Amino acid sequence: MKKDNIFMNIIQKKVKTDILYQDELVTAFYDLNPKAPVHVLIVPNILIPTVNHATTHDEIILGRLFIVAAKIAEQKNIHSSGYRLIVNCNDHSGQEIYHLHMHLLGGKPLGPLLQK
């Protein structure tokens, strides 16, 4: 598994990206190809390639993803209208970047969870 990836470069500020939020555990930034008016990615600062790689040691980090998602949803004023949180894992989900991340999507009705 590659140790270097685009999200790690963003977290470490090696590439220029608007960072919406960063603390000692997670970083949040806009998705490059937004699928909704609000599309933010929230990622652990350490490399956990997929959900399958998460361990009990990562519980605080994984919990922080939700806390930060809700905080950003409030800042973006979509916390009342609603939003969707998605974490893809491996091929069938369409995971592109093998650095675990949570998608925060909102700002319009998002429709059904999956297309048939």
Residue 107, classified by CB atoms within 10 Å of its CB into exposed (0-12), middle (13-18) or buried (19+), is middle
Contact between 97 and 5 under an 8 Å Cβ cutoff? The reply is: yes
Site track 2-41 with ligand 5GP (rule: CB under 6 A), x = hit: ----x----------x-----------xxxxx--------
101 as an active site residue: the answer is yes
Does position 50 bind ligand 5GP by CB under 6 A? no
| Token pair listed for 2 | 């590659």
- Kindly state the smallest distance separating residue 92's Cβ from ligand 5GP, in Å: 12
Residue 85 found at the interface with ligand 5GP (CB under 6 A): no
User: Rg of the Cα trace of the chain?
Assistant: 14
Do residues 39 and 32 touch, judged by C-beta distance below 8 A?
A: no
Site size for ligand 5GP (CB under 6 A) = 12
DSSP assignment letter at 100:
-
Q: Which residue, 33 or 80, has its beta carbon nearer to ligand 5GP?
A: 33
Q: Is residue 86 within 8 Å of residue 102, measured between CB atoms?
A: yes
Cβ closest to ligand 5GP, residue 94 vs residue 111? 94
**91 contacts ligand 5GP (rule: CB under 6 A):** no
Residues forming the site for ligand 5GP (CB under 6 A):
6, 17, 29-33, 88, 94-97
